[in-house]
Structure 1
Amino acid sequence: MKFTLKAQDPLSKARAGELVTDHGVIQTPIFMPVGTAGTVKAVHQRELKDDIKAQIILGNTYHLYLRPGLDIIESAGGLHKFNGWNGPILTDSGGYQVYSLTDVRKIKEEGVTFRSHVDGSKHLFTPENVMDIQRTIGADIIMAFDECTPYPCEYNYAKRSIEMTHRWLKRCCDRFDSTEPKYGYNQTLFPIVQGSVYKDLRIRSAEVIASFEREGNAIGGLSVGEPAEEMYAMTEIVCDILPQNKPRYLMGVGTPVNILENIALGIDMFDCVMPTRNARNGMLFTKNGIINMRNKKWENDFSPIEADSDLYADTQYSKAYLRHLIHSGEMLGAQIATLHNLHFYLWLVTEARNKIISGEFYEWKKTMVNRLGQRL
């Protein structure tokens, strides 16, 4: 993997870059649609590429390990062959899912034992076997196994947690470096900075993660309930420490406003279920604010979903029709809304990149932040 910085905004820390993988080139800043179980919900792969213009998607180690299982994925030749997506893929290590299984998991130095949400069977994730699982899934970028602490989180717990996460990272790196990719293309490993909302822990974790000198780095444990101001403060601290010449990935973030504010702090890569999950509930993100398509005010609005969009679904269908589909529980409603939201997120980061390159990002970002949070 190779990362090259192409431009830096003169009035912020925003930057435009290019990330080269064996499955394609990624222009940063970038938003990565979440395909937890090997699919971005309600979207065909052709639509991801041609309409949404996604450059990289996510899969999830925990979910793919449980279903369909590693034997099937390996027999298919890896996740790219299995799901038909020929672009770059990143896999989460499953650490966040383990974090969310509070009642059915135990964390020890060896790793995490947990009960499957599918059938209740017992499993063990260790730094070593999570590397092996992600090798088998075949992602281009794989994540280190870490503990994602909750919010709020006591200081001493957060401190013990990052120390264990750092020990786990050493084990991840040792296993990753002693094994080979299975499908004939390169893979790379990103460590994850943790530390909750404690400045000294974030600084310490960022310093340790940077010392491993991997090809990219991630920031985890944010967007878990803390105020946005805390997220921005922690992100700024960490970005000031992580290497300038490597991509920075802020995990699980976030709203369009969150994305723009964190781009301004130096983040290059984002993912979040928000655009797809909210779409299925009838919430649309647009250039002028947020639309709740369930509201009666759209019942007789026959204007296009977004008239100045280059997405066919935005101009083909009216707000009234989309409201009818969503209100009726029709699958097409979720499909149209998902296409719209993902297209908008990719438009947003592409426009941010263009503004960084032209030197106009700072003022543009201020204008967009004021617009994007409005309820229409």
Structure 2
Amino acid sequence: MTAYPETREFFTSRLHQSLLGPGSDMYLGPAATEVLDDFPLQRYYTGILFPDREAEVTPGEEAERLTRNEAADDLPHDASADAVFGTENHAEAGFAPGVAPAAASAGEAAESRDEYAAANHYFPSSLGLTCCVPAEAPVLLITVRGASYRPWQAGTDALAVTLAPNEWERLRPALSDGLHRKLSYDEASAALALLAAPEGTSRRPRTRDYAEVDRLGSRSHALHGSPGVAALEKLLRPAARLWQRVPFEWQFAADLRPMEPKSEKKYEVPADGPTGMVCWVKAYTVAPDPARLADPARRYVKVLVHNAAERHPARQFSNANEHLNAKCRFQVELMAALPDGVPLLPYKPDRTHTLTGDQEAAILNYQYRDCLAYGIGHGAAVCWPAPPEGARLRPSAPHFSPPWMCPA
């Protein structure tokens, strides 16, 4: 039984590294600045915020748009555009740019909504949480963490793998002089590092440095199947397939004091922060329950972080698209806390007094009376430390539930 928590932690850790990241590759170095030998979108499956997609426009739609623009130019200056084209719609309101739902039939509108929902499901561009704070809380501290990936740069970024000293002694004499000068071995850490970009052609038939792997790995060579050849092949990857992780962290205090009921504020990342990230904060106050005079007035705050990078063509949403990989944000986390360690309020107040007519609900409420919830996630799973440290609220990556179990 003592091994059960360790085994469980091992499997959950491996799932976290493989599905969410970072730390899934074999290159040495801190996980925060890991190097991948594949496109990030082909390696990770969750915790990703995609850029918004550009609206697809067919040639017929383009011609119709030009015709409508010409008609608008012929209108008198005091004519109302709404009378001709309907009210203006915005992408953030849930409609595709340039499409007025009033002008579409009911079937077309439903189809448009389904396509929009499917796009958000497979390529989410935002995640968020809603938590509860005292009505008089002046600010909410927000932290956004994550990473972007960029192509690996030879001579600037490090690249190293593990190789035992005895295997290095076998490999070293067989290397060509040109490739040997590009490698460095540290016996203390058993690390074989690449110091300069390989020369030659990486596509078959491979040449120069890349051909060394074929020569040393041939069946007729004594090093065939050795760990040294495997380590060398890991290092001699085409630079275009290597991606360097660049972590980011954005912190700010959301001002709740001047907010009107159900109003929202937009916070943009500073110049030294992650490019293209935007955060929306919306709050509304709930009056105290007359039946529970001891309950304070509560304020619910919804925080939404959005990847507002440059829109990407809808027909180029491929996991192997270099520009899409560069625009995505990975391992995104959103945390909310009150200043000075003040704890958040439970998301749902105690309703024991209202359950007198529902026996099953009363039993469940009693059994789980100590299992308080401090928030809900939007496109994410929310987790929080156990009280009394429960002043922080963090949603994990979208669709990745923390490995916690409810008590029986």
> Quick check: TM above 0.5?
no
TM-score if structure 1 supplies the norm length? 0.20
TM-score if structure 2 supplies the norm length? 0.19
Q: Which has the higher contact order (CA 8 A, sep 6+)?
A: 2
Q: Which has the higher strand share?
A: 2
Q: Which has the higher helix share?
A: 1
Q: Which has the larger radius of gyration?
A: 2
